[in-house]
Amino acid sequence: MTGYEGGGREVRATRDRSTALLTELGGAPLGEAPGSAWAAGRFQAPYLRDSLLDAGVLVETLETATSWSNLMTLYDAVRSALTAALGDQSPAILLCHVSHVYPTGASLYFTVATKQRENPVQQWATVKAQACDAIAAAGGTITHHHGVGRVHRPWLEAEIGPVGVEILRALKQRLDPAGVLNPGVLVP
């Protein structure tokens, strides 16, 4: 299922190129119905997640992105890390889809569902930390569109390097010398 944004001419050209390539690779045009059905149910998923949590199922997501040449390496690394981290947490469901594509690469969006343990917040923190380690080691971005914040901050330096952190600290000092804007949220 694909969707396109932009001006009319740009959308048509991109859609035509994508359709030709996907058809060549074995895809089949299904019309607009699947996309319309997805759009109609797009915002029902968070409510389903809440119901699953209430029923004792841990349901969480994480996302990353990388270049096309690194996409399968990143996918394999994160999938392996999640599988290892979930270990004996059976049954577990691990899904992944490409949520956004660009000329230079794509975003991978993973969904995990498994039985909640005694402390589901710690359970997910442990699993996600192993996945984030794998993302950093495989050259993915620690976040695609969810933001860095407090949760992903421990892996930011692995992505942007010590000079990148130094630049962020200098900007923070220059623009917010009193440290009142989101203290402790981004800068490692």
pLDDT of residue 49: 85
* Domains along the chain with CATH numbers: 1-42 (no CATH), 44-146 (3.30.300.330), 147-188 (1.10.45.10)
| Average confidence (pLDDT) over 146-152 | 90
11: CB partners within 8 A, 6+ apart: 4, 5
**pLDDT per residue over 59-118, tens digit each?**
999 999 999 999 999 999 999 999 999 988 778 999 999 999 999 999 999 999 999 999
Judged against a pLDDT cut of 80, whether residue 46 lies above it is answered with no
pLDDT at position 106 is 97
Q: Which residues are catalytic?
A: 109
pLDDT at 45 over 80: no
pTM to 2 decimal places: 0.83
Residue 18 has pLDDT above 80, yes or no: yes
